Chains A and B, each alone.
Chain A
Amino acid sequence: MVRKKLSSVFINSVGLIITLGIAFLIAIFLIFVLSSTPARTIYYFFIGPFTNKYYFGNMLNTAVPLVFTGLGIAIAFKSSIFNLGGEGQVYSGALIATVVCLSLPNANGYLGGALALISGLIAGSVLAGLSGFFKMKWGTNELISSFLISGAVVLIVNYFITGPLDDPGNSLLTTCAIAEQYHLLKIFPPSKLNISTFFGILSAGLVFFLMFYTHWGYEMRMCGLNREFSRYGGINVSTYLVMPMALSGALHGLAGGISILGTYHMCVKEFSFGMGWNGIAVALIAKNHPLGVIPAAIFFAYLDAGAKAAMLHSDVTFEIAAIVQSIIFYLVTAQAIYSFIKFRKRAPA
């Protein structure tokens, strides 16, 4: 049993290393094609995030919301539910958290901050929960509905940020800044890394506990494996269409709220773009395991920070990261790669 488990861990990690290796090779290839100073670009792409404390701390800070969105997606995928609305859920969570902070300019930092985060969480949870509810009630495809709802929500949030909530004091497309007492404590100056890092680690632990050591988690995973079988086993399967979706949305909303209180201190237009999609990538690399989400998120933050450093110091554009990301998407789900390794491993015996 232990041996079997170890061997599956081995296969997964070898597969993952191959996947990430290929992705990096493609990144290097792209840089050679696109950049006129490839050596410089490659240096900043791969080493850039480690060159000083500021970059390094910010890289880790980028990973924090990705831990939340990754966990959200992992819960949904483990239950065989697709949540493609992460973008809208993060963004609306951020907006609601900002609005709560702005409307309570003099409240106690801890209470008001908690209230803001919880409101953001609820916003995300409701948005995603809706898709789960439609699925449960009428069988509406949650994959498409969550994407479309999120598509509309993103534009509506854009309207609020640039319209009624726009800060008249500056020409940037942002809301006003939230009050000082809501800012999360910085732990690695001069970077933006803050105590939300610990929230992220804590959440990963909690989700791990929920999924593997509770009754709910068990039933959720069973529904994910085989919904019909679970129905015959007496599990209330319709609950587990809504619950994973709502939890997933809650974690996305929280990711948005944390980014505002910890990093941005104001809701900037389109600041969260990519967080939802990256969450999917993070969950996939982690093979939907809650504890695997943390290293996967750091890896993704590294990719992001590398692309940003390369853009700043060289002549390539940031979207190279999107191409590398898509390669990782392609390869990480390609089951054939993993079964090939399995096959090779058995062959000599």
Chain B
Amino acid sequence: MSENGFSLPLIHNTVGIMTPFLLAATGGLFTELTGMLNIALEGLMLIGAFFSVVFAAATGSLFLGILLGIISSMLVALLFGSISLYLKANIFISGLATNLLAAGLTVVLSFQLFGSKGVIRFENISKLPELRIPFLQKVPLLGDLLIGHNILVYLSWLCIILAAVVIYRTPFGLRIRGTGLSSPTITSLGLSPTGYRLKAILISGFTCGLAGAVLTLNLGAFVPNITSGRGWIALVVIYLGNKTPLGIVIASFVFGFAESISNYAQGAINIPADFILAFPYMITVSAMILYSVWRHYREYGK
């Protein structure tokens, strides 16, 4: 019992904290499979975060807030996708542009609407409903860990399962993968690789919008740059997850765990806050380097 007092809540938190990573990486998986490195995840998430909380406060409905947040994020994804694909812009640069646009737009709008460039609290937002199933909660261990999260957590699980089915069991998924493996083949079949890339970007807009909504609606507030690198971490999650849905779940869990440990450390140990904020970056970059070392030796022998 004494041990559970520490480790179970930590893992319970991890399951909640990993959700934005998982969602952003789910959408990013589609773009990655079509052969694009989508660095706009960060910006799309920020757009989703801002608009979902603003619309939730304005309409008084969480559902509408999330929906409009997702739509905003998909609109920006559409802009990003059309410029990258149809105007043939360099995708890294247009990705950077998207991140900048998101950072600028959210601050300008929050200054314009609320007169503040800082944290904006929304008092009238109801909390995200949590899933409580009394008899399942009694199941030892699993009940503690998996039950009692907010509904978006379960929605993220649904998304990744759906993504796995779509990617591996539908013609659409096959063509998405085909676009990344060999776009000339797709063209020779009379299909448009550009079309599949745009759809992949829109899917990433959808999941990133949802991921952003998780961040702000949990808090009931918007903090400038609330995503703080999570979109980038999601990119690394896709790599570490070996570009498979299951791998992404595991990798998100690892990063969620790292973040919940650093949250825990913030309260328990006397470390400067800046170091704790830097911790996720350091973990991510080390994980990424270790992964590439592992891959390197697996591919080229010793």
Contact = CB atoms under 8 A, between A and B. Distances in A.
B278 A156 contact: yes
A329 B104 CA distance: 13
B87 A143 contact: no
A343 interface: no
B281 to A, nearest CB: 4
B88 A145 contact: no
Given A145-B289, A322-B104, A329 B275 contact: no
A206 interface: no
Interface string B65-87: 00000000000000100010011
Interface string A76-89: 00000010100000
B14 interface: no
Contacts of A319: 103-104, 107-108, 111, 117
Nearest to B90: A333
A325 B104 contact: yes
B89 A145 contact: no
A334 B81 CA distance: 12
Contacts of A329: 93-94, 96-97, 100
A319 B102 CA distance: 11
A139 B277 contact: no
Interface in A121-146: 134, 137-141, 143-145
A320 interface: yes
A323 B105 contact: yes
A34 B104 contact: no
A84 B274 CA distance: 21
A156 B274 contact: yes
Contacts of B229: 148, 151
A163 interface: yes
Contacts, number: 136
Interface extent on A, as a size class?
A: 35 or more
B101 interface: yes
Contacts of A330: 79, 83, 89, 94, 97
A8 interface: no
A118 interface: no
Nearest to B296: A138
B98 A148 contact: no
B232 A144 contact: yes
B89 A138 contact: no
A147 interface: yes
A159 B100 CA distance: 25
Contacts of A13: none
Interface string B173-209: 0000000000000000000000000000000000000
Interface in A273-331: 277, 280, 284, 316-317, 319-323, 325-327, 329-330
B89 A335 contact: yes
A152 interface: yes
B117 A317 contact: yes
A249 B296 CA distance: 26
Across the A-B interface, the 7 shortest Cβ-Cβ residue pairs:
A322-B104, A329-B97, A334-B87, A159-B274, A152-B281, A326-B101, A155-B278
Interface of B: 37, 39, 79, 83, 86-90, 92-94, 96-98, 100-101, 103-105, 107-108, 111-112, 117, 229, 232, 235-236, 239, 272, 274-275, 277-278, 281-282, 284-285, 288-289, 292-293, 295-296
Given A134-B289, A322-B107, 15 more contacts: A138-B296, A143-B92, A145-B288, A148-B232, A151-B232, A152-B281, A156-B274, A163-B274, A317-B107, A317-B111, A319-B108, A323-B100, A326-B101, A335-B89, A337-B87
23 contacts: A134-B292, A141-B239, A145-B289, A147-B232, A148-B236, A148-B288, A149-B285, A155-B275, A155-B277, A155-B281, A277-B96, A284-B93, A319-B104, A322-B100, A322-B108, A323-B104, A325-B100, A325-B104, A329-B97, A330-B79, A330-B97, A334-B94, A337-B87
